Structure 1
Amino acid sequence: MAKKGVIMLNLGSPDSTKVEDVRTYLDQFLSDDRVLDLNPVVRKLLLKLVILPKRPAESAEAYEKVWTEQGSPLIVTSVEQQKLVQQNTDIPVYLAMRYGKPSTEEIVAEMKKDGIDDLLIIPLYPQYAMSSYETAVVELMDQLRAQGMGEIDTVLVQPFYKDPQYIDALWESIRPKYEGSDAHLMMSFHGIPQRHVQKTDPSHDHCLKTKNCCTTPHPAHATCYSHQCYATAYALMTKGGLSHDDVTISFQSRLLKDPWLKPYTDFEIERLAQEGVKKLKVICPAFITDCLETLEEIAMEGKEEFLKHGGEEFELIPCLNTHPAWIKWLNDKIERWEP
């Protein structure tokens, strides 16, 4: 009889806030050609001469602002998710990070030792992007092959950006913080370069080239991050009975000077404040787990910008994290997979 296992995949975090640990993490992260998709020689020079000499110290300072006694918020919460899911199933549940620890390589070695030969793969990314969902899955499959597990049975959970149960869980996590607040709601998704959207368009002639490309039905939407972000936003608006006037959709976390998906979150925060919005609540639906990008970039930097430009009240509504509806979503996936 096959021995089943479940693996949850997430991005990862530095081992500590020490500059050297942050540098190691950023080097691994930005050396990934699905993240920094440049000519290998150019990428290496850019990393060694421009990014890694300065950015690790800046990022280490940012990580220090959100680090907990237990460690990285993303890792701590992800481990708690794993434990809660494990409490509701007899199938072994593993957790692996694309970068940092626990690494995909070491978790695959653990699964091999445990004799796993039938695997449910759950990337913890609602939307598809080559720099998140795709690279995490590719790394897992590479490690399975490298460690002699390439022939095991696998089932891959597809991006769940508009899955009704996921939208229900997301709204249930938001509703108590938002309903009755008379605040404007910003949905800030993680940004990606526009070229990534075009690269994942199999037709190479729809995404960011056709008018209303994100809302005009097309096969490219199966791997289009931009479309899937808007689909999440619109599904959530429908669920919560929100109008377009209630919501601003934006994209955060730019790197380098290439054009990224717009509108940019920092620009929109400033604009809303200057146009008279006094209360702003922000959600980050591209993230399942709160991390540097939500806790520091939005809750701290975003709040500072909003108040500086005339806003009065600003709040980051937490990600799903360990919300019971989200844990139930994960366990339901396992139950439906198990024969």
Structure 2
Amino acid sequence: MKGVLLVNLGSPDSPTAKDVKPYLDEFLMDKRVIDVPKLLRNILVRGIILQTRPKKSAKAYKKIWWEEGSPLIVISERFTEKVRKKTELPVALGMRYGSLSIKKALDELDKKGVDDVLLVPLYPHYAMSSYETVVVKALEDQQNYFPSMKMTTLPAFYHRPEYIKVLSTSIAEGLKDFDYDHVLFSYHGIPERHIRKSDPTRFHCKIDGSCCKINSVAHHTCYRHQCYETTELVKAFLGLDEDKVSTSFQSRLAGDPWLKPYTDFEFERLAKEGKKKLAVITPAFVSDCLETLEEIAMEGKEQFEEAGGEHYKHISCLNERDDWVELMASWISNWETKNLLPV
């Protein structure tokens, strides 16, 4: 029997330091997130970061927390329920980190008689710290606890025409009543070394844009290339002016070079260049979360206005939009009936 496992990032159980700390511990101790030797990772995370970060992060979570719970969890659950109504297959929701685990979701499917699972990482782009770690964890749990299960993974879908159409429609609706000077596509940041580590050729990725113009197998796992490609595809679909669109990367840790340009630097640059009305899109996420609601919608607005900007708009993620639900249901249906998945 076939079934579907949707997997998103995860969230603390509450916006308190007590619950944020174990969540951050699981997240930051993931070797695909902080990719240093385990001993050093343990010192960095448990000896330094977790001594102060939980309180700071808890304050940020409190700013965006909904009455029903974590926005990421609530939105993901709503999306999952809508997808269930569009397919006859069992659909379970798991999170890479936190109490709503992948193992629990697989157990839910197993109890319904599912032995053939479509794994759907809810990330449009491939990155070792997001898409890859979901796939690895899901396969580990499947092999350790449900060895008779078969698992198929939905590929990264950042470039699929049907996905670009849904994403572009969402963005167009967000821009409809906003007379913008500039549109900033802000993607989640990762260390530059992750790009090199994910390059199967070990030599193609230069992280300067020149390699993106050369067709290569490396593009299948190059997060930077995929982000810029998403921007270009949406820009073409909507007919956005070249000089009114740019790409940046948000969220970084000190000490290592991360993908540039940095979003917070772009807020200041754009404002000082006379861009008074800025729209910001966060296409690395399909569900609004701490990074979109607090870092971009709240802190980003403050940073842009402090630098001289006047009007700022954050365009929401796809969340539980009906056309996004319909698209996911169509992918599931194609896999169920024809074993066909986007490539």
Relative to the length of structure 1, the TM-score reads 0.97
Contact 1:202 1:220 in 2 (8 A): yes
Query: SS at 1:213's partner residue?
Result: helix
Paired residue for 1:114?
112
Structure 1 residue 50 corresponds to structure 2 residue 44? no
Deviation of 1:155 (Å): 2.1
Deviation per residue, 1:120-146 (Å, 9 max, x gap): 111110000000000001111100111
Deviation per residue, 1:77-135 (Å, 9 max, x gap): 00000000011111111100000031011112222222211111111100000000000
RMSD between aligned residues:
1.2
> Paired residue for 2:150, among 137, 148, 153?
153
> Paired residue for 2:250, among 249, 252, 261?
252
> Paired residue for 1:169, among 163, 166, 169?
166
For 2:178 and 2:79, the matched residues in 1 are separated by 29
Paired residue for 2:235?
237
Structure 2 unaligned spans of 5+: 338-343
Letter in 1 for 2:159: K
For 2:58 and 2:21, the matched residues in 1 are separated by 9
For 1:106 and 1:88, the matched residues in 2 are separated by 23
Deviation of 1:17 (Å): 0.7
Deviation per residue, 1:242-270 (Å, 9 max, x gap): 13211110000001321000000000011
Contact 1:299 1:315 in 2 (8 A): yes
Aligned counterparts, 1:137-286, within 5 A: 137-147=135-145, 149-179=146-176, 181-183=178-180, 184-208=182-206, 212-286=210-284
For 1:138 and 1:203, the matched residues in 2 are separated by 21
Letter in 2 for 1:200: S
For 2:93 and 2:79, the matched residues in 1 are separated by 9
Contact 2:8 2:122 in 1 (8 A): yes
How many pairs align? 336
Paired residue for 2:290?
292
Query: SS at 1:338's partner residue?
Result: helix
Structure 1 residue 93 corresponds to structure 2 residue 111? no
Contact 2:6 2:122 in 1 (8 A): yes
For 1:101 and 1:64, the matched residues in 2 are separated by 19
User: Identity of paired residues, percent?
Assistant: 50
Cα distance, 1:278–1:211 mapped onto 2, change above 3 Å: closer
Mean alpha-carbon deviation: is it higher for 263-272 or for 172-181?
Answer: 172-181
Contact 1:172 1:325 in 2 (8 A): no
Cα distance, 1:211–1:57 mapped onto 2, change above 3 Å: closer
Contact 2:28 2:45 in 1 (8 A): yes
Structure 1 unaligned spans of 5+: none
